[in-house]
Amino acid sequence: MTVPRPEPRVALSTSSVYPERVSDAFRIAEELGYDGVEVMVYTDPVSQDAAALRDLSQRHQLPIVSIHAPTLLLTQRVMHAAPWPKIDLSIELAREVGCDTVVVHPPFRWQRVYAREFVDGVALREHETGVTIAVENMYPWRAGDRYVQAYLPHWDPVEQPYDHVTLDLSHAATAREDSLEMAQALGGRLHHVHLTDGLGSALDEHLVPGRGSQPAKELLQHLSAQEFGGSVVVEVSTRRGTPHQRREDLAESLAFARRYLAPAAPASSGASAGAP
């Protein structure tokens, strides 16, 4: 008897419901049938409050699969002004809410001391805490035909010595990279996926998967074939839509993920043997 293998968890990022609140993300995730939630730490106080997050997780019966540290350009003053304390506080938050993954962006180029320490600092914290720190792929900043290397040691984690990586499809689109090729190159280091899409604009679009030019379908099928054990987190921008449109986009994203993460049906041995 063949035991069916589990599909990767499909979680909802709280950033996907912005400008609604963290509590709204848990409610919507439960109503739509998501498997969990990724908490983006930002100005909503609940995103930084372990007790409040545990209460939401228990109330909606949804695990928190990851904490996204406030390392975005717009969250430089959230949680702490200095970069390493942000990471350390995010790790502490992850442990307090019962998850084992923290997503971080690489340092900005002007954070030179932090950047010099980053690779070793990430590895040290993983070793000391047991929490996985999954460094996310970013992109060069573009203005017309000009490119600016905005991240150190680099925006592309494939050639960096991180043990664990988060692959974001919208960031791959902005960088004009192929997310499937990146996943294949990362191999077992790919720990976490932000499922979204993009058309290659200089803007980080975070489209609903399937509405951009990234091979989102093929990537999910690749993850399924590789028996990917991490989480696939829907991280799309819905801020310009109505609440109804937001729910429709999040339902569509979940359906897309479920469809292409489903294991392929085995070929019928009878058919191959010429059975009618």
Domain-embedded: residue 270? no
Residue 18 lies in a domain: yes
Report if residue 56 sits inside a domain. yes
Question: Contact 248/26 with Cβ under 8 angstroms?
Answer: no
67: three-class secondary structure by DSSP = strand
Express as a percent the part of the chain with pLDDT over 70: 93
Mean pLDDT (the chain) is 93
- pTM equals 0.93
| Separation CA 196–CA 175 (nearest Å) | 14
Q: What is the pLDDT of residue 145?
A: 74
**Three-class SS state of 207:** strand
Facing residues of 146 across strands? 143
Q: pLDDT tens digit string along 132-151?
A: 999 999 999 987 778 889 99
When mean pLDDT is compared across 28-32, 108-112, 143-147, 208-212, the lowest value belongs to: 143-147
- Residue 1 inside a domain? The answer is no
At 10-60, the pLDDT tens digits run 999 999 999 999 999 999 999 999 999 999 999 999 999 999 999 999 999
Instruction: Report the number of distinct structural domains present in the chain.
Output: 1
Q: Write out the residue range of the structural domain in which residue 223 sits.
A: 9-262
In a domain, 103, yes or no: yes
214: in domain: yes
Structure tokens at 271: 């058919």
Q: Does the residue 166 lie in any domain? A: yes
pLDDT per position as a tens digit, 235-272: 999 999 999 999 999 999 999 999 999 987 665 544 44
- Looking at residue 14, which CATH number applies to its domain? 3.20.20.150
Give me the residue label for tokens 């960096």: 160
Q: What are phi and psi of 216, to 5 degrees?
A: -65, -45
Helix (H, G, I), strand (E, B) or coil at 114: helix
Q: How far apart are CA 230 and CA 233, in angstroms?
A: 10
Within the chain, where are the H helices?
A: 22-32, 50-60, 83-97, 112-129, 169-174, 179-186, 216-225, 243-261, 269-272
Q: What angle do CA 263, 237, 53 make, to 5 degrees?
A: 80
Task: For residue 131, tell me if it sits in a domain.
Answer: yes
Query: With 70 as the cut, is the pLDDT of residue 4 above it?
Result: no
